[in-house]
Structure 1
Amino acid sequence: MNASILPDIAAQATCQPVSLGWVGMYGIALPLMFHAQRIRASADAGVSLDCGETRGIHMSRLYLALEAFEHQPLTPALIRQVLQGFLDSHEDISTCAYLNLHFELMIQRPALISALAGWKAYPVTLSVKLHQKVFHVELNVEVSYSSTCPCSAALARQLIQQQFVQDFADRPLKHEDLLTWLGSTGGVVATPHSQRSFANLDVRLNEECDTLPIEALIDRAEAALGTAVQTAVKREDEQAFALANGQNLMFCEDAARRLNLAMKTLPWLSAFKLRVTHAESLHAHDAVACSSWNW
């Protein structure tokens, strides 16, 4: 059958004259090229339907425009080109184009002391909008880390002090005995609790930013927190991690403030919001703190 005579019901049918802010598709499977990695991604693609008399958009045109990501490295320029394609293919009915890209960025991380290394997956979402030549890029990243509770550390130290008084009340202090006591479970009777924690970071890139500084954002966040979760480790790495946790006690409020100050130093962002979640090992609920700047 000749394709030119196939019925186009969307064009023929009448509809109520109501414009729609977003029409498109969610969950499109898509390969991306980023930093020499081929990444499996999921895309949400859409446009505004400003012409209320038009029943629907051409979703296949959006889908086909996404093919550009298969062959070129992911950059703000490429994303803008794709969104402009969305609008060009809906010239008479749409003024806004939208795209969300969801993927995991794999980064190899070295161990703290040993020569081992391993891969970590960081969930990433890019949310992009093009409206009347104004181009917005927002980047969301999740970073996992370890947090040790300052309160439980103080309570543990108090119990150790009490045990020390009890064990050495009637004994002379000898270096050898004290060293043995410190290395025994009978001496260090309590330890502080720690938990895996998560920082969810949303940043808006400057218009002048011509790259996607995802790894730089992750590096800055992990440096500010000081106790990023590890990959492959030996005992010396685990000991170094225990030392980092012991010297880096923090409530969720502390973590949020550290990230706030660290992110304000990044020259390529114009706004951010963040949320830290400490998945409590003491309680059955989470401890959460949020912060924002220019958002």
Structure 2
Amino acid sequence: MSADSQSFAVIQMVSQSDVLANLGQAEQLLRQAAEGGARLAVLPENFAAMGRRDAGAIGLAEAQGEGPILPWLKRTAAALKLWIVAGTVALPPEGRPGDKVRACSLLIDDQGRQAARYDKLHLFDVDVADARGRYRESDDYAHGQAVVVADTPVGRLGLSVCYDLRFPELYTALREAGAELITAPSAFTAVTGAAHWEVLIRARAIETQCYLLAAAQGGIHPGPRETWGHAAIVDPWGRIVAHQERGEAVLQAARDSNEQASIRARMPVANHRRFAPGKLAGDENFSQAAWRPAQILE
């Protein structure tokens, strides 16, 4: 693939609790992506730490410039000349270091600058029939409040994270904001992943006619926790064009903008939509009381 192509990479990891060890492994995988011609690479959710319950302390240190993760991200992106979607990093709201942290997906450009930040909208507060049993992300994190899209060398990118995949209205909003590719860095449990992962990532790609870049955690972590893996790249027709079941991997593909435009022209679902968030198109009597839209940030 040429350096000027619309090539991108999706990374699968098996992150542990040691932040510096995880960053070292992530750097090797990102270097592999860059050497393969990728212009942008997506790291999984919790790439820097899994099995830790000190998200607040990690986030505060990073916000105060005392943590290793943000400097590493900026340095690595600049050194590799690679745009990086940093799965999730625990950070407080910008300008409010004392507030509860959020699960942030950061977009870093190839000069090492932050190009966008998405705070995870939907938090994983569920009971799962696995060794851990109970997951309550809201114990450690606050909800995000905005839908985020940004321009990148591979196309207009919409940001999402893991549990967001179960809420299609977010992806409708990303498509309406011009997304051509959507990231979904994840750490699905083995139980929920086996049941729903593939159908969710393919459905979100099909309904938005976007490339779905589904980075993942895939293995055994402290906690105890087992993640499903199956990192994948899905094209706008819903085809899985790259896939890894378990373990570490770098998946690469290139966006075919002509084919994507053709798919959207031949099946213009965005123009056919009669349900909009909170209303039925053309029906002034349809209730909008239950819809609370997130702000869109570009």
Greater RCO, 1 or 2 (C-alpha within 8 Å, sep 6+): 2
Greater strand fraction, Structure 1 or Structure 2: 1
TM range (shorter): under 0.3
How does the TM-score come out when normalised to structure 1?
A: 0.26
How does the TM-score come out when normalised to structure 2?
A: 0.26
Structure with the greater alpha carbon radius of gyration = 1
